[in-house]
Each structure stands twice: as structure tokens, then as C-alpha cells.
Structure 1
Amino acid sequence: MGNLLKVLNSPDLEQGPNFFLDFENAHPSENERAVWDNVAQVLSRAEQVLAALQAYQGAGPHIREAISHPSDEEQQHKAWEAVCPLVSKLKSFYEFSLQLESALHNLLTVLTAPPLSPTQHLEREQALAKQFAEILHFTLQFDELKMTNPAIQNDFSYYRRTLSRMRMRSAKSLCDVDVTNEMANRMSLFYAEATPMLKTLSDTTSRFVAENKNLRLENTTDCLCTMAGVCKVMLEMPEYRGRFASPETESFCLRVMVGVIILYDHVHPVGAFARTSKIDMKGCIRVLKEQPAANVEALMNALRYTTRHINDESSCKQIRSMLQ
């Protein structure tokens, strides 16, 4: 399919770029290789993290027994031994979010660098754009799983409540979990978020803009809105969808489109929902609504509840109505 292809020039598409971005077969050029290798090393763990989160069962029965029998030392010990390995998993998820944060920063540095336009970057660094998309795809999958698993918050809350008391007892009562108070505080803030990975990426993108004061804001926001436009056009045009080798690429594009909209809304001063937004929000929402409801409800909720400007006075009322 080649790199980023300008395959249509339809007058009916008044907003957004008319591009096909090969999310399935993009390979890094020599110029991309150093950054690509760094990000690829992080992304190589993504499927493992998702599988571990999907299999996360929690220590609910042990915790309930321990709470119901506070003087029964055996029940307390069983609950503690059940929670500790789970906290190790939660720590690994949190540490992976920090790696994603660094990877996203590296990608934004390249994809927003002047003097190239966002379109030129997507054309020339397609493999890096694909990695950016993979980070967003993972992020929305992770947050969808986390939101439907209350055991995560319950386990970690029990761990924090019990930690000080257990440390006062015999060392044999402790399992080998290296979670300092500082680490526990950071993890607590992370898991308190309904969508912790999205919050991490949004904060990273906002911090990237704040730290790069010599870089025009439009370099970042145009990169995000161009990616949203690419995904929208690829999904709504049969000529483009027909190029997908796998049916999973459609859901991939949907998640990426929603992800970049959320990042744009957190970074742009008036957000993605204002009439002046460069993102065709009506078109993006229409594309979402055309998909089977079971596939997009979580994505619609992400737009409703994790964006920053949806309820602003400057936001288009028609767009808000479409999301209701």
C-alpha cells in the first residue's frame, strides 16, 4: 500500500485530509530508526500488560473474609498474601504508564518538529505515526478494562490500609513487594482516575506544549487534528476501508481517532468542540455512530467524560446533542 498516500481528491470532503495511512504495514526508514526502536521496546510489552489486566481477578473473597473476621490472624495473613502479588501487577502497570509517557514525548518531539507540516511528517515518518496510533489504541483498551474492574481499586485500597499494620509484625508476614510510601501515593493518584492511561497521555501532551515554548502550539494541535482527520476519512470512505487487510483495523482507527480528539481537547485553549475547532467533530461522531453500538459505547463515553471542554459555553450545542 506504500506510505501515506494521497489517493482521493474528493470535493465532497470539505474538512480533513484525504489520506490513507497504512497502520498495518508501515516500516521505519533509517531516519526514523533510533526513535522507532526506542518506542518499539516499550510497545513490545503492551499486549502482555493488556492480557494481565484482562486476567486480573482481584482478592475480593480473601479481603471480605479478613474484614469480617478482624481478630482471625489466619484470615488476615491469607488476605495479605493474596493482595501482595496483585499489587506487584498494579505497580508494573503504573510503571508501564511512565514508559509510555516517555515514548509519547519522543514521538511528539519528532512529529511536531519544524519546518515540516503535520501532513509532511505523516508522509515522511509514517512508522512513527503508526507507533503514536498504537499507544493511543493500547491506552483506550487499558482504560476500558480498568473501568470495568472495581477489584483494582478495592485491592489497592486494602493494601494501603493494611501495610503499616503488617509491617509492625513479623517479617514473615510480609511478602516481597517493593512499594514505598511515595510509590504508593503516586499509584493511588493514578488508579483513582477513571481513565488513568488517558490522563497520563493528556498530561504528557500538555506538559510537552508547556515545556517547548519555542514551538508553536499549532505544531502540536495540527498534528493531532490531522491524525483525527486521517482516521475519519479512512473509516467513512469504502475505498479506504477496502484496503484494510484485517477487520480489526477498523476498531484500531476508531480508538486512535477518539484518542487524538481527547488529546487535542486537553491541549487546545478552546478544545475540540468549539465551532472554530479544526477537527470535524460532527463527522467523527457520525462515523462512530455508524458502527455497531457494542463496539463504540466506551469510545462515546470517553468523549463525553474524559474531554476537558465538552461543557464549555464555546462548545457547539449540536455536537453536545449528538453525544447525548
Structure 2
Amino acid sequence: MSLFFASSFPALLVIIEMTSDYLKKEENKTDLILNLILALASVCKDTLDTPNCLEKLKSSNKDELILRAMVESTVVYDHLSPAGAFCKKSAFPMRPVIQTVKNFSQESVSKELLGVLQHRSKHFNDPDTPRHLQLLIK
């Protein structure tokens, strides 16, 4: 057995760790940072759900990039928020985010990103996570 292993998402891990360290020093900015991450995910979701924007993104091959940004910001939010993104009282719009990922035109990308939400999220398997969200991802 090796003593060393690599993360499958090293950049995401660094972002989460650095932001967590910053929030430990600046506890009064937690809500501000979480709202900023929430806004990023919401803008990405709204952009992908707007037909005119989606057409322009597809023509320049940026639709997948926006989708990945939305999923990664969801994972970051889930790690930084004490309750996570999946709990009922979360401000994060998990159901619409999951639906946007599922409805993406490239099925392989959609499956990959649903796996990221399932396996990279901190609170996905918590008892507080609504069962319908878990079933929607699986």
C-alpha cells in the first residue's frame, strides 16, 4: 500500500482549504463569502436556463465551462456552509441545479458532474439531506 495518494480534484481542494482558512480568520465574512458563491452558482444556472444565452454559449463551446463552474461552486458552498447545500433550510437552490445538470445536452458530461455532486460534496450523505435530492442525483 502506498503512503501517498493524489486528489482527483486538487484545484478544488485547494480552493476549499484556502477559503476555509480565510473564514477561520475572518469569521464575520462567512455570510458574505457564502452569498458570493451562491450568486456565482445562480448566475451560471440562470445563464444555462436562458435559451438565448445557451445558444450563444453553445456556438462558442462555453456551455460546458459554465456548467462545470456551477457544479464546482455548489461543491465549494457545500464544504464551507456549516449546514451544507443539501439541507432543507439551505439558501442554495439544489433541485434546480441538479435539474440543469441532468438536462445538459452532453450525457457523458452530465453523468460526470452528477458524480462530482454525489462524491465530492461534504453533506450529500447526511441524514438531513432530503431523500428526493439523493434520488435525483443517483
TM-score (normalizing by structure 1): 0.40
Compute the displacement of 1:242 (Å): 3.3
Which residue is 2:44 aligned to? 231
Percent of residue pairs identical: 24
Of the candidates 208, 212, 231, which is equivalent to residue 22 of structure 2?
A: 208
* Amino acid of the structure 2 residue aligned with 1:253: I
Aligned pair in 2 of structure 1 residues 197, 264: CA closer, same or farther (>3 Å)?
same
Q: Distance in 2 between matches of 1:247 and 1:300?
A: 24
Which residue is 2:13 aligned to? 199
- CA offsets 1:60-103 (integer angstroms, 9 cap, x no match): xxxxxxxxxxxxxxxxxxxxxxxxxxxxxxxxxxxxxxxxxxxx
* Amino acid of the structure 2 residue aligned with 1:280: P
* Amino acid of the structure 2 residue aligned with 1:256: A
Q: Distance in 1 between matches of 2:94 and 2:115?
A: 15
Figure out how many residues of one structure are paired with residues of the other and give that number. Answer: 136
Cα pair 1:205 1:263 within 8 Å, conserved: no
Of the candidates 269, 285, 300, which is equivalent to residue 98 of structure 2?
A: 285
Q: Secondary structure at the match of 2:88?
A: coil
Compute the displacement of 1:320 (Å): 0.8
Find the structure with the greater CA-based Rg: 1
| 1:90-109 → structure 2 map (5 Å cutoff) | none
Q: Secondary structure at the match of 2:57?
A: coil
Give the unaligned 5+ runs of structure 1.
1-156, 158-184
Q: Distance in 2 between matches of 1:290 and 1:233?
A: 13
- CA offsets 1:33-79 (integer angstroms, 9 cap, x no match): xxxxxxxxxxxxxxxxxxxxxxxxxxxxxxxxxxxxxxxxxxxxxxx
Which residue is 1:297 aligned to? 111
* Amino acid of the structure 2 residue aligned with 1:300: L
| 1:171-320 → structure 2 map (5 Å cutoff) | 188=4, 191=6, 193-213=7-27, 215-244=28-57, 246-291=59-104, 292-320=106-134
Q: Distance in 1 between matches of 2:89 and 2:59?
A: 35
* Amino acid of the structure 2 residue aligned with 1:219: L
* Amino acid of the structure 2 residue aligned with 1:307: S
* Amino acid of the structure 1 residue aligned with 2:70: M
Q: Distance in 1 between matches of 2:30 and 2:130?
A: 22
Does the alignment pair 1:323 with 2:137? yes
Cα pair 1:221 1:267 within 8 Å, conserved: yes
Give the unaligned 5+ runs of structure 2.
none
Q: Secondary structure at the match of 2:41?
A: helix
* Amino acid of the structure 2 residue aligned with 1:283: P
Q: Distance in 1 between matches of 2:110 and 2:54?
A: 17
Aligned pair in 2 of structure 1 residues 316, 245: CA closer, same or farther (>3 Å)?
closer
